[in-house]
Structure 1
């Protein structure tokens, strides 16, 4: 089995690639919203194939899940739409840097409070320093642009 850190590293690698590909698609076809829709259709088909391989029975308990947990789809749609619209003009690097800062802050809050049933990991000086260093890095890259 592949180590979880390697899988997440690959997922992180894919975020700027997604931004660049979808931003270019939106520019070429003249509609970032249409590019986002195409992305979601491809993602839906891919996810359906994976679900069929691992076992479609996993959907049997979906109605028992708290409804607020489905809001994750709204966040994915917001991310894809915003990066598809903004990355081509703002720059993929700039867009992803700000996304990353938002992810660091949000994940620190989710972990600190154990939101949505996640494991509690206290927000401490080390985490605060890491977020601050990242923010400084973004500020430096913005000044260079």
Structure 2
């Protein structure tokens, strides 16, 4: 197991919880769709600045037509994710929303790994995966108890 990449993934998880909270606060002030647009504009500006400052990435644009069409659905899913987070956090709280997100995310990830979907490396399904998902679901149920 590569601890560096586990650390990077953990930072991503913390950033997701922060992002969801900040986006929900923005949506409360501006509305969900306006906030979704603002978040994407800021994201675009950030990525563009990184590409320009670091002088990386522009050569990859020549390969846009060489990838399967469905990989571009990530942009659509990004809008769906941000909308769903902004919509759910004010209603059920950051902890409950994040719990539901994580359970669905892990279950979907195990399936994608098992299938090797989208050209990703295939990881054989292990029976421990069922136990892990079950324990995660039990933990989620405990967290969601009111």
Cα RMSD for the two superposed structures = 1.4
TM-score scaled by structure 2? 0.91
Which stretches of structure 1, 4 residues or longer, exceed 4 Å deviation after superposition? none
The residue aligned with 2:131 is 129
What displacement does 1:9 show?
A: 1.3
User: What is the CA-CA distance between 1:82 and the residue it aligns to?
Assistant: 0.6
1:140 positional shift:
0.7
Which aligned pairs between 1:1-145 and structure 2 lie closer than 5 A? 3-29=4-30, 31-52=31-52, 53=54, 54-143=56-145, 145=146
Distance 1:75 1:132 in 2: 26
Q: Secondary structure at the match of 2:90?
A: helix
Task: Name stretches of at least 5 consecutive residues in structure 1 with no aligned partner.
Answer: none
Post-superposition offset of 1:51: 2.4
Q: Report how many aligned residue pairs link the two structures.
A: 142
